[in-house]
């Protein structure tokens, strides 16, 4: 069966119903396999359907985008969006296998090619300074679609994700999501933009925002922040979107970007836990965010964007 990709297939539960209908009609059981070929949103949705049918059917992922090959395709999470929230319904159901075929990358638009680089920047910043140095040295090559540079990026990023899943809290029983650096605002920006801003683009802006906040808190040096923003913009990402200014005066407003902090906490429960940067390659978790400093970080990114137009 063919299902539209993109966030559309996660926003409409009818697509989950279609997959489950086929599983039922074809007699697919827990010893059978469902093969999903597509980007991260489609893999999430099909994985969710497989996770709830028969309490779990084996599924195989063949990710076709940079974002799904280096990040979501090798994870254990499956989900769809609901109640105006990103990934509100989901399961933790590891795939039986993941097959990365780099030939699919040649079919991508420039926007799709670039989107997955955000997750590599994220994991490098919080875990591997040497990997971030690679991204610095290969920024132009990645922007110009150099396949060898992208293959290394995908392999290293996916490797670090698997290492984290195998050694940490893969089913998120705690209140920490270390691999979601930059994501509290990214998920909210996607929703506020009605998914005009794609996930990788939102993550890039979220990384820029939390890095700027880290700098304003005295955790990062000005030079480190400069390096981070140069890599983000060097591969073609924007640092700012108008949605970031939404209802900043009221963090309880459903359309406020700052409401994303509470929604991020609600998603896991427990105390708010946000990953920030102590230095490049070393993330640190905090449990409080100063709204005034976060607003100042947003304004700094806005001024940066206006200065470079």
The total domain count for the chain is 2
Of 66, 86, 108, at which residue does a domain stop? 108
Which residue segment(s) compose the domain that 266 sits in? 110-309
Q: Give the single-character DSSP code of 283.
A: E
| Shared-domain flag, residues 93 and 233 | no
> Which residues of the chain register pLDDT less than 70?
169, 173-176, 309
Q: What is the DSSP annotation of 32-49?
A: SEEEEEE-HHHHHHHHHH
Both 169 and 213 in one domain: the answer is: yes
Nearest Cα neighbor of 274 from 187, 204, 183, 212 is 183
Listing DSSP states for 159-208 in one string gives: HHHHHHHHHS-TT--SS--GGGTTHHHHHHHHHHTTT-S-HHHHHHHHHH
Query: Quick check: helix, strand or coil at residue 228?
Result: helix
Q: Which of 108, 137, 172 is a domain's end point?
A: 108
Cα–Cα distance, 77 to 43 (Å, whole number)? 10
Domain-terminating residue out of 108, 127, 162:
108
Same-domain status, 119 and 102:
no
Do 134 and 12 lie in one domain? The reply is no
CA distance 190 to 203: 9
Write the CA distances from 132 to 121, 128, 139, 145, integer angstroms. Answer: 7, 7, 10, 18
CATH number at 296 reads 1.20.1090.10
Whether residue 90 is found in the same domain as residue 217: no
Note the pTM of the prediction, 2 decimals.
0.90
Q: Are residues 252 and 166 in the same domain?
A: yes
Task: Write down the pLDDT at residue 176.
Answer: 62
Residue 267: what pLDDT? Answer: 80
Identify the pLDDT of residue 309.
67
Same structural domain for residues 242 and 172? yes
CA–CA distance, 138 with 142 (Å, rounded to integer)? 6
* Residue 179, pLDDT score: 82
- Pair 82, 49 in one domain: yes
Quick one: 81 and 178 in the same domain?
no
pLDDT in tens, 211-235: 999 999 999 999 999 999 999 999 9
Identify which of 268, 113, 112, 119 has the alpha carbon closest to the alpha carbon of residue 183: 119
- Do 164 and 283 lie in one domain? The reply is yes
Q: Are residues 39 and 143 in the same domain?
A: no
- The domain spanning residue 56 has which CATH number? 3.40.50.1970
Are 241 and 220 a contacting pair, CB within 8 Å?
Answer: no
Q: Is the domain of 138 the same as that of 21?
A: no
Please tell me the number of Cα atoms within 13 Å of 6 on its side-chain side.
11
Distance CA 197, CA 215 (A): 25
Helix (H) or strand (E) holding 299: helix 291-307
């Amino acid at each position: 069966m063919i299902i539209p990709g993109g966030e559309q297939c996660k926003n409409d539960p009818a697509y989950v119903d279609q997959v489950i209908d086929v599983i039922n009609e074809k007699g697919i059981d827990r010893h059978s396999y469902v093969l999903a070929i597509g980007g991260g949103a489609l893999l999430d949705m099909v994985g969710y359907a497989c996770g709830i049918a028969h309490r779990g059917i084996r599924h195989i992922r063949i990710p076709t985008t940079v974002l799904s090959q280096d990040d979501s395709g090798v994870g254990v999470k499956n989900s769809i969006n609901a109640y105006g929230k990103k990934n509100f319904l989901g399961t933790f159901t590891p795939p039986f296998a993941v097959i990365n075929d780099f030939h699919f990358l040649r079919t991508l638009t420039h926007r799709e090619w670039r989107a997955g680089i955000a997750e590599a920047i994220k994991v490098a910043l919080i875990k591997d300074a040497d990997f971030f140095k690679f991204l610095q040295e290969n920024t132009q090559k990645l922007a110009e679609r150099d396949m060898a540079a992208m293959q290394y990026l995908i392999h290293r990023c996916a490797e670090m994700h698997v290492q984290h899943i195998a050694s940490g809290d893969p089913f998120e029983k705690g209140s920490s999501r270390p691999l979601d650096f930059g994501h509290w605002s990214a998920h909210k920006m996607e929703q506020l933009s009605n998914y005009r801003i794609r996930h990788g683009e939102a993550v890039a802006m979220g990384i820029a925002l939390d890095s700027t906040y880290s700098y304003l808190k005295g955790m990062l040096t000005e030079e480190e922040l400069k390096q981070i923003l140069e890599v983000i913009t060097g591969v073609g990402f924007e640092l700012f979107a108008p949605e970031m200014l939404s209802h900043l005066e009221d963090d309880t407003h459903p359309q406020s970007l700052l409401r994303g902090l509470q929604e991020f906490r609600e998603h896991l429960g427990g105390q708010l836990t946000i990953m920030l940067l102590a230095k490049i390659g070393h993330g640190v978790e905090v449990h409080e965010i100063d709204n005034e400093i976060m607003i100042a970080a947003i304004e700094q990114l806005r001024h940066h964007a206006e200065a470079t137009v």
